Amino acid sequence: MKIRSFLPLLTYPDASSEASIRNAAALASLASAELHVVALEADIPPVTRALSRVLMNLPEVIRNAETLSAQAGAKLMDIARGKAEASGLPVTVGTLKAAPALLGEVAAYEARYFDLALVGWSSGNPGIQMLAEAVIFGSGRPTIIVPEGAEASGISRIAIAWDGSRVAARALADATRLLERAEEMHVITVTDEKPLADKAAGDRLAEGLRQAGVKASFSPIRAEDCPIAETLQRHALELDAQLLVMGGYGHSRLRDFVLGGATAGVLRDLRMPILLSH
């Protein structure tokens, strides 16, 4: 069964970057996935009459913002469609409108109807971080965060961040459709960052993968004098992995996400495509 992937494109206030869209579409092509692209356009609520009297041109400002959002969406959808069609990738496009504060929630809801979500990552764009967090933690679907500065090169070599936890197991299960396409897997366990319930967890997973007929290795690594997300990504890249699979840890406090250390670090310093699952 073909993988159905979902690519939300932010258009407001700062649009998704063209490079991140190209990389996300390239990753969908490598996974032989159908691609459904949705432009998230701003639908700004009307202002009150009292505020409109104070700021005489505010309705016009709102209309201009919505027009620019729609124009950015059309441009970005054309880029995604062109990249997909050039790769022979089945693609559909659509538009969803919502108040700016709800764009992430709308994307998360839409992602539930697909096997996999892709979010093109642009550093320094707060809207993209909001979108990524909403999809990762609200969709119930695995989400691959694709950096704009690292072109997707394949999914034949996959690294798995493993500590034996529930979220790590969920990420592994959610990545099954991609893992089936891999030729090599590398299990990475940080052995001294926190107490591990099973000190042989990484070895056990790698052995299980080998018994399933997969070429798998285990790499125990030590926490370094840098964020754990940097350590995991650096070792994955040293192993020549093209995708890192890891659990997304976070919980909601008054509807604001409080992210676990590795997840927060990934979203601060993304160096490679990472599949996060919560």
> CB–CB of 117/144 below 8 Å?
yes
- The confidence score (pLDDT) of residue 265 equals 65
Two structure tokens written together for 15 = 């649009």
- The confidence score (pLDDT) of residue 204 equals 94
Phi, psi of 179 (to 5 degrees): -60, -30
Q: Return d(Cα 233, Cα 244) in angstroms, integer.
A: 7
Among 234, 239, 230, smallest CA distance to 262 is for 230
Phi, psi of 115 (to 5 degrees): -80, -25
- The confidence score (pLDDT) of residue 116 equals 96
- The confidence score (pLDDT) of residue 58 equals 66
Entry pTM: 0.88
SS3 164: coil
- The confidence score (pLDDT) of residue 253 equals 41
DSSP 170-206: HHHHHTHHHHTT-SEEEEEEESSSS--S-TTHHHHHH
> CB–CB of 138/108 below 8 Å?
yes
pLDDT digit string (tens) for 171-189? 999 999 999 989 999 999 8
Phi, psi of 252 (to 5 degrees): -95, 135
Length of the chain: 278
Q: Which residues of the chain have pLDDT under 50?
A: 251-259
- The confidence score (pLDDT) of residue 223 equals 79
Q: Return d(Cα 223, Cα 53) in angstroms, integer.
A: 58
Phi, psi of 65 (to 5 degrees): -65, -45
HSE-up of residue 174 (Cα within 13 Å, Cβ side): 27
Buried b (16+ CB within 10 A) or exposed e, 156-182: ebbbbbbbbeebbeebbebbeebbeeb
Q: Return d(Cα 112, Cα 152) in angstroms, integer.
A: 24
> CB–CB of 221/230 below 8 Å?
no
Instruction: Check whether the bond before 13 is cis (ω within 30° of 0).
Output: yes
Mode of pairing for the β-strands spanning 256-259 and 250-253 = antiparallel
- The confidence score (pLDDT) of residue 257 equals 44
- The confidence score (pLDDT) of residue 157 equals 96
